[in-house]
Amino acid sequence: MTWWCSTVEWPWTWEWRPYVGAWLLVLVMTVPYLRSMRRRAKTVGLTDRDKRAIVWYLLGIVAIWVASDWPVAALSASYLLTMHTAQFILYGMLAAPLLLIGMPEWMIRRFLERTRLYRAYRMAANVFVAAIVYNGVLILTHVPNLLDGLRASQLGSFVLDIAWLIAGLIVWTPVVSTISELRLRGAIARCTFLFLATGVIPMIPAALITFSPEPSYATYELAPRSWDFTALEDQQLAGAVMKVTGIFITFPVIAYIFIQASLAESRHVGTRDEGGSAPGPAAAA
Amino acid sequence: MTRRDNGAVLDSSAASTEARRPDAAAPASPGARPPAGGLPPDRLPPAGPSRRAISLIVLAIALLAAAVIVSMATRNRTTVDAVAGDDGWAGAVLEPTRPRPEFTLTDTSGRPFDFAAETEGELTFLYFGYTNCPDICPIHLSTLNQALRAQPDLSATVVFVTTDPERDTPERIRSWLDGFNGAFIGLTGTPEEILAAEAASGITPAVPDAPGEDGFYLVGHATEILAIGTDDRTYLAYPFGIRQSDWELDLDRIASGEVPPVASAGAVDVTAAVAGQGKAGEAASVYLTFDNRGDDTTIDAVSTDAADQVVLHGTDASGVMTDASTLDLPSGTTRLEPGGRHIMLEGLRQALEPGDTVTVTLHFADGETAQVAMDVVAYDDVLDRTTPQEAGA
C-alpha cells in the first residue's frame, strides 16, 4: 500500500489506488478542528460566523483531499504536468484560502499560542515575505531536476505538496486571515498584493514552461502516454493553466473584495447620513 | 476604521485608505486569547523583519530565481549523465563499432526490405519493439521523432522492427507508426527472421511473456535505438530514458559531421578506421585517424588475430615505404592514409573481402590498449573512407 503518491512507471489505468497518507492528512486536519468547534459550541456557543467557517474549512479539506488522493495525485505525480499544475492550484490557490477563512480568530490564536508559532507566522505574513515565500516555493519546486527528484519518492512528493499548501497559507494570510493584525487594511492594498503575489510573478515560470522548445521534466516526458497529446503539448497546457489561474481565482477574489468594499462604503455613508447632524430637508420640515 | 468584528474574512469594512499598521491592536473577540507568550497584540514586536533582513531575503530569492531560470533555460542533462561517458554523447558509444546490420524482412506494404541495401549510406535509427508496448516503445519513438523534428535539415531514416509479429500485422504497424511519423519504416517477418535480424544487429532477442487470462501479453525486448552512421557503422545505442534534449544534443553533433570515436584509449580517440582488401597469405593495409586530446604519445605495437604479423609502416622523404618500430601520435589529429603512414597486416590468415570486418588492437606506450573494429573495403574505396566527410547531412 502506498502512503503518498509518487512517480510510477506503469501505464495509467482508471483502477482506483489507495493513498493512506492523504486520508491521514485529511483526518489530522479535520478531527481536531471539529472537536474544537464542538467544545466551543458546548461552552460559549457557535456564532453564525463560526458555522459558516466550518463550511469554508470543510471545503478547504475537500480541496486538499482531492489534490492528495487518487486520481488527481496519481496523474500529477506520474503522468501529466497539467494535472501537476492543477494540483498546485488546488493546494495553494483553493485549499489555502478556504482553510484560512474557515479558521475563526479564536481558534487560530489558540493554535498559534499553543505551538508558539505566532511570531514566525506574523513574520511570514509580512507582505514582502509572503510574496517571496510563495513565489520562491513556486519557482523552486518547478526546477526540473528538483521536481523530478522530489516526485520520485513518496517523502519528496509529500514535501512538495505540503510546501505548496504552506506557501499558499502564507500568501493568502494578508488577504483573508481572520487575525486582523495580519490582514492588510484596505481593499486596494489587498487586491494589489494578491494581484502581484499570485497573479503576476507566477507568470514568469509559467512562461518558461509554456514556451520551452522541449519537455522540461523527465517525470512527464518519459511517462507512459495514455493520451493523444505529446509531453510538450502537455507542458504547454500546464503553463497556460498556471497563467490563467489568475483569471479564474485571483480576479474573482479581487472583484469580490472591491464589491464588498464598495458595499461597506455605501453602508458607512448611509449610516453617517442617517445619524448625522447635518439638517436635511426632512429635518428642516 | 478599526476592525472589531470576529473576522469577516473578505469583509472590506476597512475599505477606507487606512493603512495597515504592523503593530495594530488585535481585535477583542469573544474567546480570543492573547497570542504567543501571553502578550497582547499591541505589545508584540513589529510584525515584519528588518529592512536588512528583507533585502537579504530578496537578494537570496533573486539569486534563486536566476539560478532556476538558467536551469530551465539550459537543457536538462539528468538522463544524459546516466548514460554518457566522458565523450559527452548522450547515447552509449559502441566500442568497437559494428557494421550496418544485414537482414531482410517485410515492410508494411508487403515488400521485401533488405535493410543494409535500402538504408546504405543513410543516417539510420533502428529500433526493435512492438505496438502493444504500453510504455517504452511509444515514448522512445515519440521522443526520437520530436528530436528529429527539431532538426529539419538532418536527413535520417527511422526503421522499426516488430518483436511481436503475431499481433503486429503490417497494417497495424503502419497505423501505429503513422501516429508518430508517416516516414517511419515498419518491418515484420517470421519469428525466425526477426530473431536473425536481432542477432545481426547485436540486440538481445525479445521474449514474449505468457498470455494472461484475456490473452494479452507483454514482450520483453531490448530498448536500445541503434544509430548507424552514413559510413554504415553502428556507433551509438540509445536506451530508454533518453530525453528529447539528450537526442537533440547528439543530433546537433551528428548534423555537424561529428561521429563518435570508433575506439578510445585514454585521451586518444580513433575517429575513423578502414582496412583494404587482401588475399589469404598476402598483406592488407589499415588506415586510422587519431584525435589525441592529451600529450604526445606513441603506439608501440599493433596486434590482430587476422594476420601472422603486424608492421607499422612509415614513408621516407622520397616516398619509399619504411618499417617503423613505433607510431608517434602528437597532440591533435593524425591520419594514416594511402601514400603515407599506415599499418600493414602481413600473412593474412584468410582473405579480407569488401564487407568483412577486421579487428586490431593498438598498444600504447602508457599501457593503454584500444580495440578497433573496421570495415574491409576495396582499395579503390579506401581514399573515400579515410577522407573526412559530413556524417549526418
Q: Name the helix (H) or strand (E) containing B126.
A: strand B124-129
Find out whether B302 and B285 touch, Cβ atoms under 8 Å: no
Please tell me the distance from the alpha carbon of residue B186 to that of residue B4, in angstroms, as a whole number: 75
CB contact under 8 A, B44 and A122: yes
**B61 alpha carbon, distance to own chain's centre:** 36
Gap from A161 CA to chain B (nearest CA, Å): 19
Contact state of A105 with B33 under an 8 Å Cβ cutoff? no
Report yes or no on B80 lying in a domain: no
Question: What angle do the packed helices A203-211 and A231-245 form, to 10 degrees?
Answer: 160
What are the backbone dihedrals phi and psi of residue B234, each rounded to the nearest 5 degrees, phi first? -90, 110
Interface probe for B, chosen from A221, A229, A268 (most Cβ of B below 10 Å), is: A221
Subunit contact B7:A180, Cβ cutoff 8 A: yes
Same domain, B235 and B287: no
Convert the pLDDT of each residue in A120-169 to its tens digit. Answer: 999 999 999 999 999 999 988 899 989 999 999 999 999 999 999 999 99
Q: Quick one: B104 and B250 in the same domain?
A: yes
Pair (B100, B245) in one structural domain: yes
Considering only the beta carbons, identify the residue of A135, A145, A253 that sits closest to B76.
A145
Q: What's residue B362's pLDDT?
A: 93
Contact B147, B249 (CB under 8 A): no
Q: Looking at the predicted structure, is the pLDDT value of residue A221 above 50?
A: yes
CATH classification at residue B169: 3.40.30.10
Tell me the CA end-to-end span of chain A in Å, nearest whole number: 81
Contact A187, B12 (CB under 8 A): yes
What pLDDT score was predicted for residue B5?
Answer: 35
Same domain, B250 and B299: no
Instruction: Looking at the complex, report in whole angstroms how far the Cα of residue A25 sits from the nearest Cα belonging to chain B.
Output: 25
Tell me the nearest-neighbour CA distance from B77 into chain A, angstroms.
9
B13–A204 CB contact, under 8 Å:
no
Task: Tell me how far apart the alpha carbons of residues B369 and A167 are, in angstroms, rounded to a whole number.
Answer: 57
Query: Could you tell me if B235 and B99 lie in one domain?
Result: yes
Interface check A114 vs B, CB under 8 A: no
Which residues, 6 or more positions from B163, have their beta carbon under 8 angstroms from its beta carbon?
Answer: B128, B129, B130, B194, B198, B206, B219, B221
Take residue A19 and report the three cell numbers written for it: 493513498
pLDDT over 60 (residue A105): yes
Examine residue B86 and state whether it is found in any structural domain, yes or no: no
Report helix, strand and coil shares of chain B as percent, to nearest 5: 25, 30, 45
Q: Is residue B175 part of a domain?
A: yes
Q: Give the CATH number of the domain where residue B321 resides.
A: 2.60.40.1890
| d(C-alpha A82, C-alpha A7), whole Å | 15
Grid coordinates representing B150?
527539431
* Whether residue B235 sits in one domain with residue B277: no
The C-alpha cell of B34 is what? 492573547
Report the residue of chain A nearest B247, measured CA to CA.
Answer: A214
| Number of domain units in chain B | 2
* B47 with A126: Cβ contact below 8 A: yes
Residue of B57, B61, B68, B180 to mutate when probing chain A, most A C-beta within 10 A: B68
Categorize the per-residue pLDDT at A199 as very low, low, confident or very high, splitting at 50, 70 and 90.
confident
H/E stretch holding B137: helix B136-149
Per-residue pLDDT at A262 exceeds 70: yes
Grid cell listed for A50: 463560526
Question: Do residue B216 and residue B286 come from a single domain?
Answer: no
pLDDT of A247: 73
- Please say which residue of B225, B255, B285 terminates a domain: B255
Q: Is A145 on the interface with B (CB under 8 A)?
A: yes
Residue B358 in any domain: the answer is yes
Q: Is A266 on the interface with B (CB under 8 A)?
A: no
CB contact under 8 A, A129 and B57: yes
- The stretch A3-27 carries a mean pLDDT of 91
Domain of residue B320, residue span: 266-386
Question: Which pLDDT score, from 0 to 100, does residue A277 have?
Answer: 46
| Set of chain A residues whose Cβ sits within 8 Å of the Cβ of B45 | 119
What residue of A is the nearest CA neighbor of B78? Answer: A145
For chain A, the residue count is: 285
pLDDT at A244: 85
The answer to whether position B51 is within a domain reads no
On whether both B174 and B279 belong to a single domain, the answer is no
The verdict on B205 and B315 lying in the same domain is no
Judge: A178–B9 Cβ closer than 8 Å, yes or no: yes
* pLDDT single digits (tens) A14-24: 999 999 999 99
Q: Smallest Cα–Cα separation from A104: which of A61, A65, A145, A47?
A: A47
Maximum Cα interatomic distance, chain B, rounded to a whole number of Å: 109
**In sequence order, which residues have a C-beta less than 8 Å from that of residue B146 and are 6 or more positions away?**
A214, A230, A231, A232, B244, B247
pLDDT at B387: 64
Residue finishing a domain among B234, B255, B276:
B255
**What CA–CA distance (Å, rounded) separates A250 from A97?**
11
Restricting to A residues 60-89, those with a Cβ less than 8 Å away from any Cβ of B are: none
pLDDT given for residue B86 in this prediction: 58
Does A264 sit within 8 Å of B13, measured CB to CB? yes
Low-confidence ranges of chain B (pLDDT < 50): 1-48, 74-82, 389-393
Average pLDDT of chain A? 89
Which has more pLDDT, A41 or B15? A41
Domain check: are B277 and B188 in the same one?
no
* Shortest CA gap B17–chain A (Å): 6
CB contacts of B24 in chain A (<8 Å) are 180-181, 185
Does residue B193 share a domain with residue B161? yes
Which of B220, B235, B255 finishes a domain? Answer: B255
Comparing A214 with B381, the larger pLDDT belongs to A214
Residues B221 and B290 in one domain: no
